[in-house]
Structure 1
């Protein structure tokens, strides 16, 4: 099932949250490097949430911001093959 991504910035903790679903206790966490944490579905291993630590300072360090994940992007509500 396809899901819209939700972006939320926690200014106090300086963390960007990218969520496909609300986080839950059973998710497994994996450090992807460069202060990015993935929260994984415990049954499928699918990435359900990303946490980008020190987000504002990361943007100040470089003009390029990349995440170590693959993604297919489609407009919400459109059919695709």
Structure 2
């Protein structure tokens, strides 16, 4: 997991992004990058993360993931 303060994007990566990944917007401003062969999600990008966290008054982020 990493946060780009300049772009205000929270990234969840299981591998480094690569050109062949397929990209799909799952919800409003949440982007999934998928393996082109298996269709499995390898990376998630949550755009405008600070705005989202302020709107939701998040104090902690709970994530369940199977890596």
The Cα of 1:8 is off from its aligned counterpart by 0.7
The Cα of 1:13 is off from its aligned counterpart by 0.4
SS in 1 for 2:3: strand
Greater length-normalized contact order (CA 8 Å, ≥ 6 residues apart): 2
Spell out, residue by residue over 1:8-63, the C-alpha distance to the aligned partner (whole angstroms, 9 max, x if none). 10000000010000000000000001210000000000000000000011000014
- Runs of 4+ in structure 1 over 6 Å off: none
Q: What's 1:61 paired with?
A: 55
Q: What's 1:25 paired with?
A: 19
Separation in 1, partners of 2:49, 2:10? 6
Q: Cα RMSD over matched residues?
A: 2.1
Aligned residues: 65
Any stretches of 5+ residues in structure 2 without a counterpart?
A: none
SS in 2 for 1:24: coil
Task: Decide which structure has greater strand share.
Answer: 2
Any stretches of 5+ residues in structure 1 without a counterpart?
A: 1-6, 74-81
- Greater C-alpha Rg: 1
